[in-house]
Amino acid sequence: MDYFHIATVLVVISAIFGYVNVRFLKLPNTIGLMLITIVFTLAVFALSAVDTTLLNAERYIITQIDFKEILLDVMLSFMLFAGALHTNFEQLRVQRWPVLVFATIGVLTSTFLVGYGMYFLLPIFGLPVELVYCLLFGALISPTDPIAVLGILKNVGAPKKLETKIVGESLFNDGVGVVVFLTIFKIAQLGSGEIQVSEILELFVVEVIGGIALGLAVGWVTYRLMRSIDDYDIEVIITLAAVMGGTVVAQLYHLSAPLAMVTAGLVIGNDTVRNSAMSEITESYVDKFWELVDILLNTILFVLIGMEILVLTFETNYMFAGLVAIPIVLICRYLSLLLPVKFFEKGLDFAPKTNLIMTWGGLRGGISIALALGLTLDMHRDLFLVVTYIIVIFSILVQGLSLGNLVKRFTPTIN
């Protein structure tokens, strides 16, 4: 089966499951698709006791797909650009400092808190793991997933100031999280005796600053091109070329493609650029095109996440460790946001219980699973993949389903 046939199967499955969700379950697509896919996969497991045809077919599809590569190197750039393109730039500009702190210091703090928490927790289950590998897990689980967050927040009705903080943090902290993960990954590979602090700092600075600079350049060039013509067909293609070309350049020069595409999306999507570079019909076509891309890729992504259950190693102590890790990750996220929220809340008029809502609304998704799949066997890949998957499932199904009620309970109805 070639890539076209695999893609066809995934799109067909996504369409069927999406229809079932919209027609019968009526859940947010992110939640509904994952739930239906997991139930389907478990049903296939049960059916395999009689006939293994479906199980073998599903396993074949999963083994032919490099989830880490397809998400981090391809899908993520498109989805982050689409999310940033539709983000309220003025609200984000007002909230830029807390968003910046949440996405950087918050991620770093959470990484170390989770890492040390797991370092002391895992031996209880007979799973002693070196600290550097626990920190790797902290890095991959700390950033919230913008794809999951954006999909669910559309149905929550949160105040705009709160929504901007959650969405803004999620758009930027995944890029920072990936860089932190790669940095610790390199440390783990080198070993403590060969670590060069200057090399680690250079990796971090080049990835982050370089990625943002590239995004600004791509956004500016795209703006100038769109401003010089008035043809909505070509202008839509220009935005597509910006994402694809910018991603290739970022990968070629080892810059952060996620941060580059978020930055480019914010530049192109802000009201000043829209008003000066796009006609009304162009703006409509650009928005609808990227909404469609976002919906399609989101649908496929969460079907893939549900199917990834087939690659897990089901061991009892792994599963217990994953269940206990859920409150640890939530507590560490709450603590990592505590000081920044206290520092900014008076000056920027934060919504009530912002820390609590941002903690519960910090959903994990495909990025965490993709990074966990990138671990090597000696980094306890099987263990951390199971733990990550359990946290992601809880995050999407439990936190995602209850986030709306939490927002309604603690925040005013006006934006």
**Could you tell me if 47 and 90 lie in one domain?**
no
**Could you tell me if 202 and 265 lie in one domain?**
yes
Quote the distance between the C-alpha of residue 25 and its chain's center.
Answer: 24
**Could you tell me if 189 and 56 lie in one domain?**
no
Report the distance separating Cα 327 and Cα 379, nearest Å. 23
DSSP per residue over 185-218, as a string?
HHHHHH-GGG--HHHHHHHHHHHHHHHHHHHHHH
Report the distance separating Cα 166 and Cα 412, nearest Å. 17
* Structural contact between residues 348 and 357, judged by C-beta atoms closer than 8 angstroms: no
Report the distance separating Cα 173 and Cα 166, nearest Å. 10
**Could you tell me if 317 and 175 lie in one domain?**
yes
- Tens-of-pLDDT digits for all 415 residues of the chain? 678 998 999 999 999 999 999 999 998 888 899 999 999 999 999 999 999 999 999 988 998 888 988 998 889 999 999 989 988 888 888 888 999 999 999 999 999 999 999 999 999 999 999 999 999 999 999 999 876 776 676 666 677 778 888 888 988 988 889 889 988 998 888 765 555 667 777 777 888 899 999 999 999 999 999 999 999 999 999 999 999 999 999 999 989 999 999 999 999 999 888 999 999 999 999 999 999 998 899 889 999 999 999 889 889 999 999 999 999 999 999 999 999 999 988 777 787 889 999 999 999 988 999 999 999 999 999 999 999 999 999 999 999 889 888 888 887 654 4
**Could you tell me if 332 and 272 lie in one domain?**
yes
pLDDT, position 17: 95
**Could you tell me if 281 and 248 lie in one domain?**
yes
pLDDT, position 190: 74
pLDDT, position 192: 53
**Could you tell me if 94 and 136 lie in one domain?**
yes
Q: Does residue 309 form part of some domain?
A: yes
* One-letter amino acid of 177: G
Q: Does residue 260 form part of some domain?
A: yes
Domain range for 29: 3-63
Which of 43, 63, 83 corresponds to the end of one domain? Answer: 63
Report the distance separating Cα 370 and Cα 404, nearest Å. 27
The predicted model scores a pTM of 0.92
- The long-range contacts involving 226-234, CB below 8 angstroms and separated by at least 24 positions, are 226/268, 226/277, 226/278, 226/282, 227/276, 227/277, 230/279, 230/282, 231/282, 232/279, 232/281, 232/282, 232/284, 232/285, 232/286, 233/285
Q: Which of 76, 137, 94, 92 is nearest to 112 (CA)?
A: 137
**Could you tell me if 213 and 325 lie in one domain?**
yes
pLDDT, position 155: 66
- State how far the alpha carbon of 126 is from the alpha carbons of 95, 137, 164, 320, in Å: 44, 18, 42, 11
pLDDT, position 414: 45
Q: Which of 153, 170, 145, 176 is nearest to 305 (CA)?
A: 145
Quote the distance between the C-alpha of residue 414 and its chain's center.
Answer: 28
Angle at 5 between CA 146 and CA 68, to 5 degrees: 35
Report the distance separating Cα 334 and Cα 213, nearest Å. 31
Which of 21, 41, 63 corresponds to the end of one domain? Answer: 63
| Residues 6 or more apart whose Cβ sits within 8 Å of residue 13 | 37, 303
* Structural contact between residues 219 and 267, judged by C-beta atoms closer than 8 angstroms: yes
* Structural contact between residues 334 and 356, judged by C-beta atoms closer than 8 angstroms: yes
Angle at 360 between CA 358 and CA 363, to 5 degrees: 90
**Could you tell me if 159 and 82 lie in one domain?**
yes
- How would you class 255 by CB atoms within 10 Å of its CB: exposed for 0-12, middle for 13-18, buried for 19 or more? buried
Which of 11, 42, 63 corresponds to the end of one domain? Answer: 63
Q: Does residue 218 form part of some domain?
A: yes
- The long-range contacts involving 334-339, CB below 8 angstroms and separated by at least 24 positions, are 334/359, 335/109, 335/110, 335/113, 336/105, 336/106, 336/107, 336/109, 336/110, 336/113, 336/142, 337/102, 337/106
- State how far the alpha carbon of 87 is from the alpha carbons of 290, 388, 412, in Å: 13, 28, 21
> Domains in the chain: how many in total?
2
- CATH code for the domain of 389: 1.20.1530.20
**Could you tell me if 369 and 387 lie in one domain?**
yes
- What ranges in 345-380 are assigned the alpha helix state H? 354-360, 366-373
**Could you tell me if 16 and 74 lie in one domain?**
no
* Structural contact between residues 31 and 396, judged by C-beta atoms closer than 8 angstroms: yes
| Dihedral, CA of residue 220, residue 225, residue 227 and residue 230, to nearest 10 | -150
- How would you class 173 by CB atoms within 10 Å of its CB: exposed for 0-12, middle for 13-18, buried for 19 or more? buried
Report the distance separating Cα 382 and Cα 111, nearest Å. 20
pLDDT, position 334: 97
* Structural contact between residues 177 and 140, judged by C-beta atoms closer than 8 angstroms: yes
Q: What are the φ/ψ torsions at residue 270 (nearest 5 degrees)? A: -70, 155
Q: Does residue 415 form part of some domain?
A: no
Strand ranges (E), 116-194: none
**Could you tell me if 24 and 109 lie in one domain?**
no
Q: Does residue 75 form part of some domain?
A: yes
